[in-house]
C-alpha cells in the first residue's frame, strides 16, 4: 500500500513538472505584459527596465527554473495585474470555486442518480424518453449558453435571482463562505445549476446503463423469484451494485468540474480561480497563469490518487488478488 502511494506520488510530481514546462513554453505566445503595464507613451528604456525587473528578459527555461525554485518555497511571485502575491490571491479565490464545484457535483449526484434509476426502470414511458432527450441537449449545449439562458429567464425576466457575483460572504478563518447568507445562497443557484448540468446528464446516463445491465443479471432474477418486493430488488440489490462505478466517475469528474468552472465563473462573474485565470490570460499575467495551472494539475493528481486508493479499499477483488498473490 505505502509503496503504491509513493509510486503514485512520484508519478504525480512528474506530471506536474511536465504541466509546468508546457505551460511555461506557451507563455511565450500570450504576449508581452509590459505593453499592458506601461502606458503607450513609455519609452523603450522604461520598457526594458520593466522587463528586466520582471525577469522577462531571460530565456524561458531560466524563467521556468526560477519559478520552480520559488514555487517549492511556496512563493508564486506577484500578480502583474493586481500587484498582490499570487498565493494570497489563489487562497482567496479557492473557496468560491470549491463551493461552486461541490454544489454542482452534489446536484449531479442527487439529480442524476434518481433520474437514472427512473429511466432504467420505466424504460418505455414518455417521461423517460423526454428526460433522455433533455439529457442529450444538456450534453450538447455549451456551458455558457445554458448560463446565459438561465440569467435571461431567472434574473432579467423573473427577477428572482441575481445575474452575477457571489452575494455576501462570511469569513471563517481563511475560508470565505457564501453558504451562510441569504444573498450568497441565492447567488449560488444559477451558476451551480449551469455547472451541474453536465454531471447530471453524465451520471444519469451512467446509472441508467449500469442499472439496465445489473437488472439482467441472474441474482436479480433469483431475488425476484424469491418474492422480494420491487423496492428491495431495485434499490437494495440493483442500485447498490451500480454505485461503485458511479462514485468513481463522480470523483474523477470533480477535477473536471473544477477546471470547467472557468466558463461558468466567467459567465456569472463568480469570483473564483477560473475567473482569475481568464483575466490573467488577457493581461498576460504569467505568475497567476503558472500558479493556476500547477494548482489544477495538483488537484487532478490528488483526486486521481484518492480515487485509486478508494478503489483499493472498496473493491474487495483488488485486495483479494493481492493477498493470494502474496501467499503463493
Partner 1 sequence: MTLTHVARAGLLALALVSAPHLADAATLRWSSAGDITTMDPHGNNEGFTNAYLDHIYETLVTRGKELKVEACLATSWQNVSPTVTRFKLRPNVRFHDGSPFTADDVVFSIQRALSDTSNFKPYLAGVKEAKRVDDLTVDIITEGPAPVLVPQLTEVRIMSRSWATKHNVLKPQDYKNKEETFAVRNANGTGPYILRTRDADVKTVAVLNSNWWGKLEGNVDEIVYQPIKQDSTRLAALLSGEIDFVLDPSPQDIGRLKQDPKMKVLEGMENRTIFLGMDQWRDELQYSSVKGKNPFKDKRVREAFQAALDVNALKSQVMRGLSVPTAVMYAPQVDGYAKELDRVKPADRERARKLLADAGYPKGFEVTLDCPNNRYVNDEKLCVAIAAMLAQINVTVKVNAMPRANYFPKIQNLDTSFYMLGWGVPTFDSQYAVQSLLRTRVEKSADGDYNLGKYSNANVDEAIDKLKTEIDTKKRAALAIEVSRIHQGEVGHIPLHFQVIPWAMRSNVSVVHRADNKLTVKWIKIK
Nearest distance, CB of residue 199 and partner 1, angstroms: 22
Asked if residue 94 binds partner 1 (CB under 8 A), the reply is no
Asked if 268 touches partner 1 (CB under 8 A), the answer is yes
- By CB under 8 A, is residue 90 in contact with partner 1? no
Q: What is the total count of residues that contact partner 1 (CB under 8 A)? A: 56
Exactly one of 12, 17, 75, 141 binds partner 1 (CB under 8 A); that residue is 75
Query: b/e for 257-275, b at 16 or more Cβ within 10 A?
Result: bbbbbbbbbbbbebbbbbb
- Residue 163 or 253 with smaller CB distance to partner 1: 163
CB 102 within 8 A of CB 188: no
Output phi, psi for 78, to 5 deg: -120, 140
- C-alpha cell of 230? 420491487
Name which of 82, 83, 56, 52 is nearest 67 in CA terms: 56
Nearest to 64 by CA among 24, 36, 95: 24
Per-residue H/E/C for 266-291: HHHCCCCHHHHHHHHHHHCCHHHHHH
| Cell numbers 511555461: residue | 24
Using CB under 8 A as the binding rule, whether residue 31 contacts partner 1 is answered as yes
Among 279, 303, 305, 308, binds partner 1 (CB under 8 A): 279
Instruction: Pick out residues in 141-180 that bind partner 1 (CB under 8 A).
Output: 148, 151-152, 155-156, 159, 162-166
Q: Is 230 in the site for partner 1 (CB under 8 A)?
A: no
Yes or no: say if 254 and 202 are a contact pair by the CB < 8 Å rule. Answer: no
Determine the Cα–Cα distance for residues 142 and 260; give it in Å rounded to an integer: 11
Q: Would you call 85 helix, strand, or coil by DSSP?
A: strand
Q: Which stretch binds partner 1 (CB under 8 A): 44-52, 231-239, 309-317, 318-326?
A: 44-52
Of positions 262, 276, 295, 307, contacts partner 1 by CB under 8 A:
276
Residue number with CB closer to partner 1 (75 or 128): 75
What are the two backbone dihedrals, phi and then psi, of residue 173, each rounded to the nearest 5 degrees?
65, -125
201: nearest Cα among 149, 138, 263? 138
The yes or no reply on residue 60 touching partner 1 (CB under 8 A) is no
| Residue 45 contacts partner 1 per CB under 8 A | yes
Q: Which of 266, 290, 294, 307 binds partner 1 (CB under 8 A)?
A: 266
- In this complex, which beta carbon is closest to partner 1, that of residue 150 or of residue 200? 150
Q: How near is the Cβ of 91 to partner 1 at its closest, in Å?
A: 13
Q: Which residues contact 12 (CB under 8 A, 6 or more apart)?
A: 298, 301, 302, 304, 305
Shortest distance, CB of residue 296 to partner 1, whole angstroms?
A: 19
The residues binding partner 1 (CB under 8 A) are 29-47, 49-50, 53-54, 75, 77-78, 80-85, 88, 148, 151-152, 155-156, 159, 162-166, 266-269, 271, 275-276, 278-279, 282-284
Amino acid at each position: 500500500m505505502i509503496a503504491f502511494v509513493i509510486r503514485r506520488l512520484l508519478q504525480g510530481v512528474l506530471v506536474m513538472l511536465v504541466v509546468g514546462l508546457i505551460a511555461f513554453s506557451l507563455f511565450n505566445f500570450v504576449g508581452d505584459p509590459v505593453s499592458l503595464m506601461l502606458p503607450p507613451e513609455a519609452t523603450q528604456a522604461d520598457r526594458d527596465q520593466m522587463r528586466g525587473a520582471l525577469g522577462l528578459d531571460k530565456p524561458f527555461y531560466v524563467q521556468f527554473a526560477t519559478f520552480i525554485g520559488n514555487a517549492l518555497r511556496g512563493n508564486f511571485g506577484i500578480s502583474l495585474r493586481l500587484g498582490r502575491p499570487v498565493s494570497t490571491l489563489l487562497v482567496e479565490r479557492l473557496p468560491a470555486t470549491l463551493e461552486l464545484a461541490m454544489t454542482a457535483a452534489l446536484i449531479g449526484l442527487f439529480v442524476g442518480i434518481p433520474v437514472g434509476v427512473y429511466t432504467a426502470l420505466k424504460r418505455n414511458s414518455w417521461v423517460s424518453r423526454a428526460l433522455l432527450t433533455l439529457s442529450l441537449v444538456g450534453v450538447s449545449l455549451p456551458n455558457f449558453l445554458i448560463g446565459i439562458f438561465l440569467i435571461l429567464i431567472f434574473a432579467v425576466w423573473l427577477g428572482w435571482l441575481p445575474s452575477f457575483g457571489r452575494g455576501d460572504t462570511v469569513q471563517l478563518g481563511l475560508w470565505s463562505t457564501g453558504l451562510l447568507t441569504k444573498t450568497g445562497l441565492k447567488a449560488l443557484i444559477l451558476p451551480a445549476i449551469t455547472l451541474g448540468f453536465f454531471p447530471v446528464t453524465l451520471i444519469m446516463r451512467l446509472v441508467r446503463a449500469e442499472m439496465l445491465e445489473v437488472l439482467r443479471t441472474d441474482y436479480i432474477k433469483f431475488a425476484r423469484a424469491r418474492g422480494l418486493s420491487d423496492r428491495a430488488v431495485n434499490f437494495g440489490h440493483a442500485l447498490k451494485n451500480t454505485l461503485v462505478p458511479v462514485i468513481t466517475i463522480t470523483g474523477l469528474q470533480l477535477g473536471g468540474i473544477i477546471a470547467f468552472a472557468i466558463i461558468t465563473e466567467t459567465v456569472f462573474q463568480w469570483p473564483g480561480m477560473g475567473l482569475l485565470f481568464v483575466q490573467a490570460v488577457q493581461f498576460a499575467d504569467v505568475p497567476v497563469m503558472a500558479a493556476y495551472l500547477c494548482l489544477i494539475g495538483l488537484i487532478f493528481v490528488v483526486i486521481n490518487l484518492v480515487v485509486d486508493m478508494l478503489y483499493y479499499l472498496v473493491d474487495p477483488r483488488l485486495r483479494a488478488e493481492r493477498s493470494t498473490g502474496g501467499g503463493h
